[in-house]
């Protein structure tokens, strides 16, 4: 690994040793099996789904034995680097944060090409993946992560909010529905939040980064226009009402707020569909009026992009220098479905409410049955194949890029800065940090993005 990494984390070695012991997996491995230590971020009911997948993999073959280790909460990246410093780190991690480009740039990940059995298998994998899944896992022209599930956002609406109007497919139609007074201070039909500029900026036709020139373009006029539109909701409702609304509902989940009518429409992901369908079924069983809801792609303004938005996903990465990279690779294939595991992966996807990373998994009968049970889930799957669904730019300051844009949106939504000022400042800050990181990488021999 790079000398810079060793220097950066050398001071934490003692702490890292103690920490890594706690997270190195401690289950008993059956005789003749090789341990594979797997870190992930899922807890609660989702962890039960993960444990079931691990159990199925362990039963499917007799060479490897996966130990799953939940690492919930924040700062998984810091916990990982502490474990690296301690010399006892996992064989495979599943993540959903914006870390692939940064970790790859630090040379702590094994490229997926090196895990495959050769160029032919690697090419089959690249062709097998949904283009969105490829883009999520790619840095500097090659895969460093294997995406196992794609996350897509749509506009989810309560049917009673439409007030006899059709579902909104244009921005003007959305405004007619959403920019109305609900008549109740405890509810707001629609309210954009700072994380959603990533999606609306793309819908409006903007691009956050220009890859050929290496320039951050977060102040693209179309993105500024999108943020101005978001700010119009602050001005419509007023800061005081929004502040009171958010304070009152601080502990409420987005799903419950839609269910009880505090929201009429919201941008959310496919994971919300099973929750809403379960609530609907429970209401029917209890003789109560169930929620009636639907989903539409994010409405676009004139000249904007249709079927567009921001996407991310869950993905596997394998640390360079781990003890069992091949065992990690076999487990990754089993979970994602590559290499003849599509039927198993379909079962996995339905257990967690995940969008598969390959059309060949979507086509499995088990997954089609799931779509029949949850018909509103289908649109999310279809949108995952749209060329206008775009992830965070894969540059070495990816996480900072993501958070800095969110902060700029918050500054504008709170009326602290104008949209133009907020995005100009963010663009400057991100570009400055990117240049500094690239210069540092170049000085220690790391290839710059686009310079293979």
pLDDT tens-digit map of 364-374: 999 999 999 99
The secondary element (H helix, E strand) that includes residue 367 is: helix 365-373
Report the percentage of the chain scoring pLDDT > 70.
Answer: 90
Q: 132: helix, coil or strand? A: helix
pTM over 0.75: yes
**pLDDT at 6 (0 to 100):** 42
- pLDDT average, residue stretch 243-265: 79
In the chain, where are the structural domains located? Answer: 3-151+311-385, 153-307+393-443
What is the predicted pLDDT for the residue at 244? 86
Greater pLDDT, 171 or 250 = 171
Domains 3-151+311-385 and 153-307+393-443 share a fold: yes
What's the confidence (pLDDT) of residue 274?
95
Please give the torsion angle defined by the CA atoms of residues 155, 156, 162 and 166, in that order, rounded to the nearest 10 degrees.
60
For residues 264-279, one letter each, b for 16 or more C-beta atoms within 10 angstroms of the residue's C-beta and e for the rest, the string is: bbbbbbbbbbbbbbeb
In whole angstroms, what is the distance from residue 53 CA to residue 334 CA?
A: 9
What's the count of helices (H) and strands (E) in the chain, helices before strands? 21, 14
> 3-class secondary structure for 311-323?
CEEEEEECECCCC
C-alpha to C-alpha distance for 148 and 337, rounded to whole angstroms:
8
**Backbone angles phi and psi of 142, in degrees to 5:** -140, 160
Please report which confidence band the pLDDT of residue 10 belongs to, taking 50, 70 and 90 as the band edges.
very low
Q: What is the 3-state secondary structure (H, E, C) of 223-265?
A: HHHHHHHHHHHHHHHCHHHHHHHHHHCCCCCHHHHHHCCCECE
CA distances (Å), 315 to each of 128, 219, 311, in order? Answer: 15, 29, 13
Q: What is the 3-state secondary structure (H, E, C) of 405-424?
A: HHHHHHHHHCCCCCHHHHHH
The average pLDDT across 140-166 equals 96
Average pLDDT score over residue span 134-149: 97
Q: Is the pLDDT assigned to residue 450 strictly greater than 50?
A: no
Mean pLDDT of the chain: 90
- 350, 353, 357, 361: CA torsion to nearest 10: 20
Is residue 314 predicted with pLDDT exceeding 80?
yes
pLDDT at 113 over 90: yes
Reported as a single tens digit per residue, the pLDDT across 33-59 is: 999 999 999 988 889 999 999 999 999
Whether pLDDT at 436 is above 80: yes
Six token digits for residue 305: 């992009």
The percent of residues above 90 in pLDDT, for the chain, comes to 79
Comparing 42-46, 296-300, 322-326, the range with the smallest average pLDDT is: 42-46
Selected residue with higher pLDDT from 242 and 401 = 401
Number of residues that make up the chain? 452
What is the reported pLDDT for 72?
Answer: 78
Can you give the pLDDT at residue 186?
82
Residue 1 has a pLDDT of: 45
Q: What average pLDDT does this structure show over 170-175? A: 96
Select from 3.40.1010.10, 3.10.105.10, 3.40.190.10, 3.40.50.10490 the CATH code of 3-151+311-385: 3.40.190.10
Query: What's the pLDDT score for residue 253?
Result: 64
Contact of 386 with 308, CB cutoff 8 Å: yes
pLDDT reading at 13 higher than 70? no
Residue 441 pLDDT > 90: no
**pLDDT tens track for 422-432:** 999 999 999 99
Q: State mean pLDDT over 176-190.
A: 88
Query: Once rounded to an integer, what is the mean pLDDT over residues 169-188?
Result: 90
| Mean pLDDT of all residues in 226-233 | 98
CATH of 153-307+393-443, one of 3.40.1170.10, 3.40.50.300, 3.30.420.40, 3.40.190.10: 3.40.190.10
Q: So what's the pLDDT on residue 23?
A: 53
């Amino acid at each position: 690994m790079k000398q810079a990494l060793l220097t950066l984390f050398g001071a934490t070695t003692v702490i890292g040793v103690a920490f890594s012991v706690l997270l190195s997996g401690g289950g008993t491995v059956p005789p003749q099996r090789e341990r594979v230590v797997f870190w992930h971020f899922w807890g609660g009911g989702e962890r039960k789904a993960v444990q079931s997948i691990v159990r199925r993999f362990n039963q499917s073959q007799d060479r490897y034995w996966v130990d799953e280790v939940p690492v919930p909460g924040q700062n998984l990246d810091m916990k990982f680097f502490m474990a690296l410093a301690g010399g006892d780190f996992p064989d495979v991690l599943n993540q959903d944060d914006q870390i692939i480009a940064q970790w790859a740039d630090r040379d702590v990940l094994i490229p997926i090409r090196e895990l495959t059995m050769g160029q032919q298998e690697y090419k089959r994998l690249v062709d097998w993946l949904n283009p969105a899944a490829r883009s999520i896992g790619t840095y500097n022209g090659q895969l460093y992560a294997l995406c196992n599930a794609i996350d897509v956002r749509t506009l989810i609406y309560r049917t009673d909010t439409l007030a006899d109007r059709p579902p909104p497919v244009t921005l003007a139609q959305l405004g007619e529905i959403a920019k109305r007074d609900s008549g109740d201070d405890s509810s707001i039909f629609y309210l954009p939040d700072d994380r959603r500029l990533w999606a609306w900026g793309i819908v409006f036709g903007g691009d956050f980064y220009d890859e050929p020139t290496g320039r951050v373009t977060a102040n693209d006029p179309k993105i500024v226009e999108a943020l101005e539109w978001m700010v119009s909701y602050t001005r419509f409702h007023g800061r005081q009402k929004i502040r009171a609304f958010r304070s009152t509902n601080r502990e409420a989940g987005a799903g419950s707020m839609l269910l009880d009518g505090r929201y009429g429409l919201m941008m959310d992901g496919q994971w919300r569909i099973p929750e809403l369908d379960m609530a609907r079924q429970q209401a029917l069983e209890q003789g109560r009026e169930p929620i009636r809801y639907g989903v539409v792609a994010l409405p676009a303004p004139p000249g904007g992009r249709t079927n567009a938005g921001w996407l991310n996903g869950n993905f596997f990465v394998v640390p360079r220098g781990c003890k069992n990279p091949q065992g990690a690779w076999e487990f990754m294939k089993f979970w994602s479905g590559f290499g003849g595991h599509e039927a198993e992966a379909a079962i996995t996807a339905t257990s967690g409410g995940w969008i598969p990373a390959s059309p060949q998994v979507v086509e499995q009968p088990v997954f089609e049955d799931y779509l029949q049970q949850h018909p509103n889930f289908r649109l999310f799957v279809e949108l995952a194949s749209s060329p206008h669904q775009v992830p965070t730019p894969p540059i070495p300051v990816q996480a900072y890029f993501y958070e800095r844009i969110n902060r700029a949106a918050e500054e504008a939504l709170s009326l602290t800065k104008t949209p133009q000022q907020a995005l100009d400042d963010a663009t400057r800050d991100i570009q400055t940090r990117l240049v500094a990181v690239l210069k540092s990488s170049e000085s220690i021999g790391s290839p710059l993005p686009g310079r293979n």
